[in-house]
Every structure is written in C-alpha cells, then in structure tokens.
A and B are shown apart, each in its own frame.
Chain A
Amino acid sequence: MNGSVRMAGTADQIFVLVKQWLMGYVPGALQPLASAVLSVVPVLLVFPLLFAITTVLERKGLGRIQNRYGPNRAGFFGILQPMADGIKSLTKEDIIPRSADHLVHLLAPLLLVVASFLVYAVLPIGRNMVIANLNAGVLFFFAIGSMVELAVFMAGWSSRSKYSLLGAMRAIAQMISYEMPLVLSAVVVIMAAGSLSTVTIVTMQATYTGIWPHWYVFTPWGLMGFVLFMIAATAESNRSPFDLPEGESEIIAGYYIEYSGFKFALFFLGEYLGMFATSAMAITLFLGGWAAPFSFLTWIPSYIWFFVKLLALIMAFIWVRGTLPRLRMDQLMNFAWKFMLPMSLVNILCAGVWHFMAAGFVRWVVVAVLVAGTCYLLSQRLKRGKRVAVRTYRFAS
C-alpha cells in the first residue's frame, strides 16, 4: 500500500526528480541559469508538439463533422500531415510587400509568438511543475495576453493592405471588448481562492469531499464563470464563431494576409498557443488544474490529468468551430457589451453572496436562482426585436 503510494508519487513527480538529478551535475554558479533552461525547454517543446497534433486533429475532426475524410495521405491516417505542412511553410518564399514597414512587419509575428509563450510561465502543468510561481500569476497572464493585441495591430498596420488593416481593426475591437468579460469572469475564482497565484488556486481545488473534488466549476457562479470565460477565450483567440478578424470569405485572412512562408506559420503557431494558454488558464481556474476528477483517481500522474483536460477543451473548441456560423460585427459587439459584461458583473456579485452566506442547501438555491435568473433576463433582452423563424429559400426546391 505504502509502496504503491510512493510509486504513484514517483510517477507523479518524475519530471521534477529528473530535473533535480540533472541539477546535481551543474556547477553552483550556473545553477539558476540551468534551472531556468530545464524548466523552459520542455514547455517550448511540448506545446508546439501539441500544436502539431491539434492541427491534424482539427482538420480530421472538422472533416468528419462535415462527412469528409480529412487529411489521410501523409503517413498512417494522415498523422504526418503537420510535418508536411511544416516543411512546406519553411521552404516557401518569404514575401514582404514593397510598401510595407519592414521592421514592424518582421517584429509582429515574433512579438505574437513570444507573448504567447511567455504566458506559459505561470501555468501549472502538474504538481510542482510550474516555471514561475508568481504572486500575481493571474495578473501576469492577462497582462502578457494583452500584448497579443499589439502584435495584431503591428501586423495589420505594417502590411499596408486594406484587408489586413480591416482585419486588425476588427481583431482589436473584438479583443478589447472580450478582454473585460474574460478578466471579470476570472475574478470570481480569485475572490474564492483569495490569491492571484495560479499554484495556490489549483492547490485549493485539489481537495475532495468523499470522492467529489472541490473544483470551482461545481458551483453556480463557477459554472457561469467558466462558460463566460470559455466564450471570451474563443473570442480572444479569434476562433469560430468569433473569427471575423480573419474571416476567410470576407477579408481573406485578416491581419496576416500579407505574410507568407515561415512568418505565416508563426502566426498560426501563436494563435494556437494562445488558444492552448487560455484553455489551460480555464482549467487552472475552474477545472482544478492538474487535480484528478475523483479522489480514487489520484494515482494517475497530475500532468496527465492536465493534458487530458486540455485536450478535452481543444476538442470542444473544434466541435464549436465545426458547428457555428460566423457572427456579424454588431452581433459580436452586442453580445459582448449587453450580455457578457453585465453577466460577469452579476456573477461577481453572486460569488460575493455565496461567500457571505452559510454553507448549505439554501446558499446553493439562492445563488443558482440569481445566476440563472439574470442569464434568462439578459438573454430575453438580447433576443428582443429579433424575429427568429425558420428561413425558407424560394428557389431551394
């Protein structure tokens, strides 16, 4: 019994132990540097790999949703497709528009990728597996995340193309509008945990009552916060149905239309890294980070749980992308300002009520009614003045 627990502990901490073992061979003066390298390099390897896997998963999933095969030529079932895509983008010609602002044009994709990678510093991938346990970790996440907007603007402006400028303007308007609900829906968790440190937030969720975990998503305000956070995260990462900034059928590829070859691949990478990062943040805040969903499953290493949850959220992203059509600009803005923002503010209020009421059934009912009632009222308001009817096409038959 004890031995199996220790075994599980070893499996759980294997990467931490390996790092400690490697650090034993490093001379004292180089220790901080070596420690940093050993923490950062795995993240720099694992997440681009996840990006590669996700691209092929996404294409196959979308294909199946549309009753197609998806890529199935390169390698077994098309699993080598990302490799082929990577080689293609590396060998392609790098075209820079003649009237472009060369320096800014070059810096934009770099800034995007660097900012996307920086946010992984505060994401706890497993127990004791985080690059930097910052006091203000969540704040760091949102602060660095807001630099992405700047990269988007730089890309759109420096290309000197009307499509990229339009795309950049749309992207920034959308990102600023949805950043507020994103941050505000995360505030409920910060209130409950009483800390801005991601590690503390996860540790607080990694306890169990019976077999049930204490994830914040299992409270009315937590569920609402999670839903709001995921919607805002979809908008932040410019994914369908919020993909107006790069709507292929309207403005071709939006702000990165003038990029080609490797820089284009960097944009793609940065976008997916941003999506992973916000998903990982949602996991950290609401879904218990690396904690197992049931107390009897804790023997499975923590990092495996993290990646299982991450993959599940990525699947959800793909599923939503395959289902929903693109929003119109006014719908997008209406939704952000008339539903998301008031809803997240009310949600904070609900979290406060929850905090000050005595634990028990009454608290559950009161807060759930508050959240659901507000949601219903706001959605009625959103629907007002809109005729929803089955559309008939005159010449369809």
Chain B
Amino acid sequence: MTVTFLILAGVTIVGMAAAMSLRNLVHCVLSLTLGLVGLAGLFLELDAQFVGFTQILVYVGAVAILAMFAVMMTRGAAQQQESRPTSVRISGVLIAGGVFLVLAWAMCHGLMTLGAPVQPEAEVKQIGVALMRSYVLPLEVIGLLLTAALIGAGVIAMEEKRGAR
C-alpha cells in the first residue's frame, strides 16, 4: 500500500464517481477521462507498461473522443432535465452498494492466502510472442470483431437515405 497507489486510487475513484454523478454530459466525459488516466497509472504501478499505455491510447485517445463526439451530436437531448424518480435512484444505489458489500465480504474471506509476489517480467517482446503463438486465435477473432464493429458502426451511424427504408 504505497503513497502512489493511494493517490492514483483517489484520482480514479474521484474521476469515475464524478463521471457518474455530474449533470453536464461533457463534464462527465472529461472526468471519465481523468478516471481512465488514473486507472492507466494503476496499471503502470502494477508493472504492466504495455497495458497501461494501451489503456491511454485506446480510452483517452479514442473512446473518450468518441463519447465526446456522440455528446456533441446529440446536444439537443442533453438539455432535457434528468428527473428520474427518487425511488429508482435510491434503489439503484442500494443495489450497487449491496454488490460492493458482497464483493468486499468475499475478498475479506477469500484471497488473503496468496503467495509472496514475485517481480513479473512483461517485456513487450514476450507479449508479442504470446500474441503470435498461444493467443493467435483470440487475436484473429478480435481482429475480425473490430473490423465488424468498424463497418457496423459506420453503417448504423450513417445517414439513412430518404425513402430507402
């Protein structure tokens, strides 16, 4: 439990909580970005350099910008007042709190018995070799998935032609 961990954890939690509770959608996305950067920092703290940088590249560079674009393009709807009944809100928070309690309880009773941590080596080269040897099928599948998602997203978001229904 180092100071770095505490700071990064604080940044992450504050960012994420703000992303879920702020009123202005753009502020939500910006604080989400803050939380994701904090999370990337946590990955770096855990010696997973490659994953940390990938996290920043994909989430900050692509997903946050994408969300931003979506927010700007649906601006007409953003003005509507958020007025969900209080009962729904309270029950939602209660369910989330319950899930957290269950997870925390499981943690307290489950995983205290792990061995002493050894410094793992996650050289980028090893990751590459693993991707090309033992994980080559998932890699292909994810490539296919991303291509399908790219085309699909383009088709869905494309302007519908008049009369072509």
Binding site for B on A (CB under 8 A): 104, 134-136, 139-140, 142-144, 146-147, 149-150, 153-154, 157, 165, 169, 172, 176, 179, 194-196
Contacts and interface: CB of A to CB of B under 8 A. Distances in A.
Given A135-B124, A196-B124, A169 B72 contact: yes
B45 interface: no
Nearest to A179: B61
A100 B55 CA distance: 30
B49 A134 contact: yes
A178 to B, nearest CB: 13
B145 to A, nearest CB: 18
B65 A143 contact: no
B135 interface: no
B53 A146 contact: no
Given A142-B57, A194-B125, A136 B64 contact: no
Contacts of B125: 194-195
B57 A143 contact: yes
24 contacts: A104-B26, A104-B30, A134-B49, A135-B49, A135-B123, A135-B124, A136-B49, A136-B50, A139-B54, A140-B53, A143-B57, A143-B61, A146-B60, A146-B61, A146-B62, A147-B56, A150-B30, A150-B64, A150-B65, A157-B26, A165-B72, A169-B72, A176-B62, A195-B124
Identify the interface centre among B68, B69, B123: most chain A CB within 10 Å of its CB.
B68
B124 A146 contact: no
Given A134-B49, A146-B60, A172 B65 contact: yes
- Interface SS of B by simple majority: helix
A195 B30 CA distance: 33
A118 B87 CA distance: 47
A183 to B, nearest CB: 9
Nearest to A169: B72
A348 to B, nearest CB: 14
A196 B123 CA distance: 10
Pairs A-B, 4 closest by C-beta atoms: A146-B61, A143-B56, A143-B57, A139-B53
Nearest to B37: A147
A195 B50 CA distance: 12
A104 B56 CA distance: 20
Nearest to B56: A143
Contact of B53 (A136, A165, A169, A194): A136
B12 interface: no
Given A135-B49, A135-B50, A147-B61, 12 more contacts: A104-B26, A104-B27, A135-B124, A144-B56, A146-B56, A149-B61, A150-B30, A150-B65, A153-B65, A157-B72, A172-B69, A195-B125
Interface string B48-79: 01100110110011101100110010000000
Interface in B14-40: 26-27, 30, 33
Contacts of B60: 143, 146-147, 150
A177 to B, nearest CB: 12
Contacts of B53: 136, 139-140, 143
A154 B50 CA distance: 27
A241 B32 CA distance: 34
Contacts of A146: 56-57, 60-62
B103 to A, nearest CB: 30
A380 to B, nearest CB: 25
Contact of A149 (B26, B54, B65, B124): B65
B65 A176 contact: yes
Contacts of A104: 26-27, 30
Given A142-B57, A146-B60, A194-B125, A153 B49 contact: no
B120 to A, nearest CB: 13
Identify the interface centre among B27, B53, B56, B64: most chain A CB within 10 Å of its CB.
B53
Contacts of A157: 26, 68, 72
Nearest to B55: A143
A169 B69 CA distance: 8
Nearest to B71: A157
Interface in B102-158: 123-125
Nearest to A173: B69
Contacts of A194: 125
A212 B124 CA distance: 31
A196 B128 CA distance: 11
A136 B124 contact: yes
Interface string B70-92: 00100000000000000000000
A134 B50 CA distance: 10
B56 to A, nearest CB: 4
Nearest to B40: A143
A67 B43 CA distance: 54
A144 B44 CA distance: 14
Contacts of B50: 135-136, 139
A135 B51 CA distance: 12
A143 B56 CA distance: 6
Contacts of B72: 157, 165, 169
B11 to A, nearest CB: 14
Contacts of A147: 56, 60-61
